[in-house]
A = this chain, B = another copy of it.
Amino acid sequence: MKNTNLPSSVRRRLPRYYRFARELLGADVLRISSGELSSMMGITASQIRQDLSLVGEFGLQGYGYNVKDLYSGIGEIVGANRNYNTVIAGLTGIGLALAKHPVFDLRCVTLRALFDDALAGTETADLTVLPMSYFERWCTENETDIAVLAVPREMAVETAGAAVRAGVSGIWNFTGEDIRADRAKNDVAVVDINLHDCLMGLCCEIHNGGRQ
Contacts and interface: CB of A to CB of B under 8 A. Distances in A.
A205 B191 contact: yes
A210 B186 contact: yes
A188 interface: yes
A206 B170 contact: yes
A80 B109 CA distance: 38
Contacts of A100: 93
Contacts of A77: 204, 207-208
B11 A204 contact: yes
B80 A203 contact: yes
Interface of A: 4, 11-12, 14-16, 18-19, 42, 77-80, 82, 84, 93-94, 96-98, 100-103, 106, 108-109, 145-146, 153, 169-170, 172, 176, 178, 180-183, 186-189, 191, 193-211
